[in-house]
């Protein structure tokens, strides 16, 4: 697929902006659940960035990286959700 360069540049810029906003939500919170959702969003954006890199480089190797990031992001989200549900991470402890 041959996309115009400006489409790829706009997509990369929007991905970068989304990553910055998700990072801000991880830092500011205000609750642990907000941080977990932002971390899940950040892993999803990493998958999208790997997909964009696969388009730019015209290589299928980045698809394997995207699958790995998606699996790790899913497992991290499930683990953090279990910690919150069990009470290991209390809402009062978050700054």
pLDDT in tens, 60-86: 889 999 999 999 999 988 888 888 788
Query: Pick the residue with more confidence: 63 or 88?
Result: 63
What is the pLDDT at residue 83?
Answer: 83
Q: What is the pLDDT of residue 50?
A: 93
pLDDT tens-digit profile of 12-57?
Answer: 999 999 999 999 999 998 888 888 889 899 999 999 999 999 988 8
Burial environment of residue 3 by CB neighbours within 10 A (0 to 12, 13 to 18, 19 or more)? exposed
CB-based contact 36:69 (threshold 8 Å): no
- Residue 24 has, within 13 A of its CA and on its CB side, a CA count of 6
pLDDT for residue 47: 94
What's the pTM? 0.79
């Amino acid at each position: 697929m041959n996309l115009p360069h400006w489409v790829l540049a706009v997509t990369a810029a929007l991905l970068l902006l989304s990553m910055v906003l998700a990072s801000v939500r991880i830092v500011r919170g205000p609750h642990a659940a907000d941080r977990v959702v932002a971390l899940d969003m950040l892993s999803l954006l990493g998958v999208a960035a790997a997909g964009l890199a696969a388009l730019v480089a015209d290589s299928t190797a980045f698809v394997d990286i995207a699958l790995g990031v998606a699996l790790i992001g899913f497992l991290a989200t499930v683990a953090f959700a279990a910690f919150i549900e069990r009470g290991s991470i209390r809402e009062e402890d978050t700054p």
